[in-house]
Amino acid sequence: MQSTRPAMNDRAFLSVFTPSRTPPQDLEAITVQRQALITDAVERVRESATTGNKHHLLFVGPRGTGKTHLVTLLVYRLGQDRALDDRLRVAWLNEDETSTSLLELLRRIYDALVKRYPDEFTAAALDPLFDLTPDAAEGALAQLLLETLQDRTLLVLVENLDALFAGLGQAGQQKLRAFIQEHPVLSLAATAQRLVDDIAKRQSAFFGFFQTEHLKTLSVEQARELLQNIALLNHQSDVVAFLDSATGRSRIRALHHLSGGNHRIYIVLSQFITRDSIQSLVDPFAKMVDEMTPYYQERIRWLPAQQRKIVELLCTQDRPTAVKQIARRLFASQQTVSSQLKDLRDKGYVQAAQRGRESLYEIAEPMMRICVEVKENQNHGPLRVLVDFLRVWYDGPELNARLSDCKTDRMARTYLASAIEANQIKGNLRGQLLVDGFKAELDEAGRKQWGPLIESYAEECEELALACGYLAKGEDAEALRIVDEIVGDESGPSARVKASAWEFAAIINSSKGEFIRAIRQLDALLALPAVPIEGVSSALNRRGRAYNRLGDFDKAIADYSTTIALSQVPVEQLAQALVNRGLSYGQLGKYDEAIADFSAATDLAQAPAEWLAWALVNRGVAYGKLRETDKAIADYGAAIALPQAPANQVAAALFNRGARYGLIGDVDKEAADYSATIDLGTVH
């Protein structure tokens, strides 16, 4: 993709690890998901500054979920409010400093105020305090702080509150809580990676103290919006359009399962998806991993041995893993592993998803997986996650083209070659992730109904699988938008793919009762060249059903007849055409013709049980119209006894047979069939 920005060095600077270094106007421009949250935080701090009602805010989320981004915008917006100029002072603490006492914390607050307001808070005022005892210095510093503040409110920003509380200990926390209560001029806004016992337990000094917000990871659509906002910031209108296309949405959805919805990883990846040079991808990513690895390695070392083994195993898995598989790999009992996983989940190391009755676990922070891979990668080979990113973002021809580019350096060529090799061995990762993503979002019934269709489309056309997934989620308009994009592309999709897209659009419109529109789409499908016979027969059957629903039985019969006359029609399509034509004949009162079609369907070898059952039930109905009760009852009985007949068709056969028994006065058999219908739990 070519960028419309004048030069590469004209890109906006978005700090990956220190968002406070990024111009706040740029942070505003790219912000997604958190606008309402930031607005609420600003209002609460404003109330703290202008009234005696002090609010204390805590934002909880793992690394990379945008906590510093949020705090930066909070400070920026407060600074834009001229009404707060003389009502509020802000002390933003250095997150890397440690406080083991209230005295040290107060000194850190004062130092932060000196940097931000040097005309009001001077470093020289601290000098006399260093000659005092700690207790005396604490009292004197508190007095200095309060006197300099005058009647203003002090907003203290604390990142990694869990680390601050760990340093203060219980005694220090109690002194801090007492100080805040005795001097109601402080308002705290803090972040933490998890809700630690110092905040969560009832007996802790700060239990119930904070208004706590748990920060969520990005959804697929929010991730796409973030990447689009970054592209807009960099004046890359072509990238914005691409990310809004069916292909772009498909890639973002697949990429989402590599990133885990982590804000930071998307900020990093935004640098890559718009650059022509593969070196621009590899070098920043490798730098990020190098900087993050020591932190994650240390976090894993903090864990007990059994939990450490579980985390290290999950870091090597490409997919969420079941408890029994984890236990098997670690030679441990499922009960032990389940208990350890619960603790790890509480600590924020892992997250779980339900798949039917089974819980599947994966690492909560994608960067931890990457950093463990670095530790184990003694041969300095390509990082799997970066190889997988290449497999998701570029298709086979693009990978080959970049590999053959003479400007590509050795490291980049190594990654490209690894991505190509992985595709050859493991298949289409983008398609696999697309399918997995939708399956995770659907319930069990949805997975059963839509899973196979999404999988089949993913092999044929990822964009079509994307449309199918949206339809499965009930997002019809989005599904149709993607389908319209596929059929409107003059050069890209094959006739086979376009045929599938037209048929899929017809399915959506038929489900909405838009039968005329569905017919037009099926007309377009049938006008395409080189459509496979199964595509033609399926389209004719669907168009026949649409005509039938409109009451145009002659056109419906014509379409079914065309299907029946085709050579090498799949047996299921042939059975459908015969049964549906029989139904149309029945609508016209032509019961002999209807019976002939239903009989032809029952004679088909290897016809699906569903269509055999429908043929028998509907032939029974036709016999009933001709007052041939014995034949009708026999057909209903055959449908009821048919192996693998769907429950709704068995129920229809029981209900209709009961009605026939009633007409001939056999009330016992009538009652028995109605009771059996009720027992099936299916309404006729």
Statement: residue 278 has pLDDT above 60: no
Instruction: Assess whether 188 and 48 both reside in one domain.
Output: yes
Statement: residue 304 has pLDDT above 90: yes
Statement: residue 16 has pLDDT above 80: no
Last residue in a domain, options 426, 447, 471:
426
- Tell me the backbone φ, ψ of residue 121, rounded to 5 degrees: -115, 115
Does residue 568 lie within any of the structural domains? Answer: no
Tokens of 107: 């000194």
Task: State mean pLDDT over 637-665.
Answer: 94
Residue 363, beta-bridge partner list = 350
Instruction: Assess whether 255 and 184 both reside in one domain.
Output: no
Instruction: Assess whether 192 and 80 both reside in one domain.
Output: yes
Does residue 503 lie within any of the structural domains? Answer: no
The predicted-structure confidence for 317-334, as pLDDT tens digits, reads as follows: 877 899 999 999 999 999
Does residue 399 lie within any of the structural domains? Answer: yes
Q: What is the pLDDT of residue 19?
A: 80
Q: Where in the sequence is the domain holding 644, given as residue range(s)? A: 608-684
Residue with tokens 């070392």: 301
Task: State mean pLDDT over 264-288.
Answer: 68
Angstrom distances, CA of residue 654 to CA of 104, 610, 626, 637, 663: 82, 16, 19, 8, 14
Instruction: Assess whether 163 and 252 both reside in one domain.
Output: no
* More confident call, 41 vs 279: 41
pLDDT, mean over the chain: 88
Q: What is the pLDDT of residue 72?
A: 94
Instruction: Assess whether 363 and 283 both reside in one domain.
Output: yes
Task: State mean pLDDT over 336-351.
Answer: 89
Instruction: Assess whether 351 and 420 both reside in one domain.
Output: yes
Q: What is the pLDDT of residue 375?
A: 66
Q: In what order do the strands lie in the sheet with 321-322?
A: 321-322, 358-363, 350-355
Statement: residue 238 has pLDDT above 50: yes
Residue 8 binned pLDDT confidence (cut-offs 50, 70, 90): very low
Does residue 536 lie within any of the structural domains? Answer: no
Residue 280 binned pLDDT confidence (cut-offs 50, 70, 90): low
Q: What is the pLDDT of residue 188?
A: 96
Q: What is the DSSP letter of 351?
A: E
Rounded Cα gap, residues 430 and 279, in angstroms = 22
Tokens of 8: 């590469």
- Tell me the backbone φ, ψ of residue 487, rounded to 5 degrees: -75, -20
Does residue 570 lie within any of the structural domains? Answer: no
Instruction: Assess whether 75 and 181 both reside in one domain.
Output: yes
* More confident call, 492 vs 310: 310
Instruction: Assess whether 210 and 331 both reside in one domain.
Output: no
CATH classification at residue 386: 1.10.10.10
Residue 514 binned pLDDT confidence (cut-offs 50, 70, 90): very high
Residue 165 binned pLDDT confidence (cut-offs 50, 70, 90): very high
Most confident of the ranges 37-51, 53-67, 188-202, 309-323? 37-51
Statement: residue 3 has pLDDT above 50: no
Does residue 439 lie within any of the structural domains? Answer: no
Question: What contacts 129, CB < 8 A, 6 or more positions away?
Answer: 137, 140, 141, 144
Question: What contacts 662, CB < 8 A, 6 or more positions away?
Answer: 670
Q: State the Cα angle at 423 between 417 and 425, rounded to 5°.
A: 105
Last residue in a domain, options 382, 407, 426:
426
Task: State mean pLDDT over 231-256.
Answer: 86
Rounded Cα gap, residues 514 and 506, in angstroms = 9
Statement: residue 344 has pLDDT above 60: yes
CATH classification at residue 680: 1.25.40.10
Instruction: Assess whether 105 and 252 both reside in one domain.
Output: no
Statement: residue 103 has pLDDT above 50: yes
Determine the residue type at 167: G
Q: What is the pLDDT of residue 318?
A: 73
Domain count along the chain: 3
Last residue in a domain, options 394, 426, 458:
426
Determine the residue type at 445: A
Number of H helices and E strands in the chain, helices first, is 33, 8
Instruction: Assess whether 156 and 305 both reside in one domain.
Output: no
3-state secondary structure of 209: coil
Tokens of 491: 């050069």
Most confident of the ranges 239-248, 257-266, 483-492, 655-664? 655-664
Rounded Cα gap, residues 381 and 520, in angstroms = 54
Task: State mean pLDDT over 425-441.
Answer: 85
Q: What is the DSSP letter of 412?
A: H
Determine the residue type at 440: A
Statement: residue 426 has pLDDT above 60: yes
Q: What is the pLDDT of residue 377?
A: 57
Phi-psi domain of 260 (left: phi exceeds 0; alpha: psi -120 through 50; beta: other): left
Task: State mean pLDDT over 637-656.
Answer: 94
Q: What is the pLDDT of residue 394?
A: 82
Task: State mean pLDDT over 229-252.
Answer: 87
- Strands in 349-390 per DSSP E: 350-355, 358-363
Statement: residue 380 has pLDDT above 90: no
Instruction: Assess whether 199 and 278 both reside in one domain.
Output: no
The predicted-structure confidence for 546-584, as pLDDT tens digits, reads as follows: 999 999 999 999 999 999 999 999 999 999 999 999 999
- Half-sphere exposure of residue 241, counting CA atoms within 13 Å on the CB side? 9
Q: What is the pLDDT of residue 6?
A: 39
Rounded Cα gap, residues 580 and 541, in angstroms = 8
Instruction: Assess whether 395 and 281 both reside in one domain.
Output: yes
Among the residue ranges 109-123, 267-281, 641-655, the one predicted with the least confidence is 267-281
Q: What is the pLDDT of residue 376?
A: 64
Most confident of the ranges 179-188, 429-438, 446-455? 179-188
Task: State mean pLDDT over 34-49.
Answer: 96
Residue 155, beta-bridge partner list = 90, 187
Residue with tokens 């942070």: 27
Rounded Cα gap, residues 363 and 289, in angstroms = 16
Rounded Cα gap, residues 129 and 131, in angstroms = 5
Most confident of the ranges 265-274, 398-407, 481-490, 506-515? 506-515
Does residue 516 lie within any of the structural domains? Answer: no
Does residue 265 lie within any of the structural domains? Answer: no
Residue 384 binned pLDDT confidence (cut-offs 50, 70, 90): confident
Question: What contacts 209, CB < 8 A, 6 or more positions away?
Answer: 56, 177, 199
Statement: residue 286 has pLDDT above 50: yes
Most confident of the ranges 4-8, 42-46, 361-365, 494-498? 42-46
Rounded Cα gap, residues 326 and 337, in angstroms = 7
